Amino acid sequence: MDYSIGLQIAIPFYGKIRPQPLINLTRWRVTPLGITWQITWVEDKPIPLCYEALAKYAIATNAKWLFVLDQDVLLPPHALAQLISRNVDVCCGVYYAKTDMPQPLIFTEKGMGPFYDWEPGDFFKIWAGGNGCCLIKTDVLKHIEQPWFKTDWVENNNGIEIFNKGNADLYFFDLLCKNGIDVWCDTKVICGHMDFDSKKIYPQDDATREKLFKDGHPLYPAKGLGNWWDIKQFGEKAEDEINIYSGGQSK
């Protein structure tokens, strides 16, 4: 199939606009040679509506891949090239919950909590991960009924009615599972998870950081690129709710 754009990078700004994702723009540029890319974002909407609008736009513009990047997730420089190289339908990187106890957002079994039995560099199937660093082939979404994202839903689990609230990630990954779509986790891509109020980057636990980052902690805001508004002036409105940064092609 012929695609118009190789990679659509989608950022849901579901509250106050934060500068970190675009300040770290240079980190995304390590992509496979010759790939065309475009950055899109949605401002000030509930998170499932942000995700939904960005995914629909990726399909409408005939992008091959949709990369969802949450505003508080900091990527390592090789993230996009690594995830694309796996060539699977859905592939997540790793980031940790903003909790004192380190909890990776990796779930191999529904309802059984985080999965800890892995080493950096492992690549394996999961039930769900963090949607804030997730590469999706857009063809996958074309065959799944909408909506793709919800934060509040009720399901029946072996006769027990369970009310799920506040997590669009798990709804999306469960929907993929129910439609027979495999989700993979690539632990070569380990991201930071920033708390904007405290400026802490998770995981905070020293032992966990030593395991994950043997050569030091690479996740820090880039400098010298300018602020959000400097970048935003080069953007344009594609639709009422979609903003785009014009993008380019990696060399």
Rounded distance between C-alpha atoms, residue 240 and residue 249, angstroms: 26
CATH of residue 165's domain is 3.90.550.40
Closest to 4 (Cα-Cα) out of 138, 132, 136: 138
Show Cβ contacts of residue 125 under 8 Å, excluding neighbours closer than 6 positions.
108, 182, 183, 184, 185
Q: Which domain holds residue 48?
A: 5-249
pLDDT at 124: 97
User: For residue range 75-94, what is the model confidence (pLDDT) as tens digits?
Assistant: 887 888 899 999 999 999 99
Specify the number of domains making up the chain: 1
DSSP alpha helix (H) spans, 38-192: 47-60, 79-86, 138-142, 168-178
pLDDT at 230: 34
Which amino acid type is present at position 237? Answer: K
pLDDT at 204: 83
Exposure of 94 by Cβ count < 10 A (0-12 exposed, 13-18 middle, 19+ buried)? buried
pLDDT at 227: 34
Low-confidence ranges of the chain (pLDDT < 70): 1, 14-33, 152-166, 214-251
* Bridge pairing between strands 73-74 and 192-194: antiparallel
pLDDT at 155: 60
183 phi, psi to nearest 5 deg = -115, 135
pLDDT at 135: 97
Closest to 6 (Cα-Cα) out of 88, 89, 92, 84: 84
For the whole model, what pTM was predicted? 0.84
DSSP alpha helix (H) spans, the chain: 20-23, 25-28, 47-60, 79-86, 138-142, 168-178, 206-212, 228-232
